[in-house]
Amino acid sequence: MELTVNKVEFNSEIKNINIVEKLIDDLSVQFDLHNDIYGKLLLAVVEGVNNAIVHGNKLSKDKIVTVEYMIDDEKVEFTIIDQGTGFDYTNIPDPTKPENLEKTHGRGIFLMHHLADEIEFEEEGRIVKMIFNIV
């Protein structure tokens, strides 16, 4: 199967998370993804997009979130790009430690790390790439 990069772009509004949810639903049906993979994709990618909208672009409707995705017989790759200033992705507190249980920050990235088979941040955290193995 030839690997092509597909892209969707939308303004930084929470309601646009529906676009990503529908995209993952459609991919799941089109490629007959296992329910486990579908669940991981949905949780991790929606969390990444939510972070891009809320934390990256600070809910600025003038700023765009770009979601690129590729799928082949072995993996699905999602890249989420925001137009924010970035963040220190190397210094995220572990939300499972007792001193962090009451804190609300860092849970999404922790979740993304555990759901994706590979994750990397680029451009000071403005770009997050997640790879999910589907075989």
pLDDT in tens, the chain (135 residues): 456 789 999 999 999 999 999 999 999 999 999 999 999 999 999 999 999 999 999 999 999 999 999 999 999 999 999 999 999 888 877 767 877 777 766 678 989 999 999 999 999 999 999 999 998
**Domain containing residue 72: CATH number:** 3.30.565.10
**Which residues, in sequence order, are CB contacts of 124 under 8 Å at separation 6+?**
85, 86, 87
- Residue spans of alpha helices (H) in the chain: 17-30, 35-51, 107-115
Give the domain range for residue 106. Answer: 6-133
pLDDT digits (tens, 9 = 90+) for 29-44: 999 999 999 999 999 9
What's the pLDDT at 3?
65
Is 39 part of any domain? yes
Report helix angle 35-51 to 17-30, nearest 10.
Answer: 160
What's the pLDDT at 91?
82
pLDDT digits (tens, 9 = 90+) for 81-92: 999 999 988 887
Is 48 part of any domain? yes
Is 1 part of any domain? no
What's the pLDDT at 108?
87
Total domain count for the chain?
Answer: 1
Is 73 part of any domain? yes
**Which residues, in sequence order, are CB contacts of 25 under 8 Å at separation 6+?**
none
Is 109 part of any domain? yes
Is 42 part of any domain? yes
Is 81 part of any domain? yes
Percent of residues, the chain, with pLDDT higher than 90 = 78
Q: Is the pTM of this model over 0.85?
A: yes
Contact 50, 14 (CB under 8 A): yes
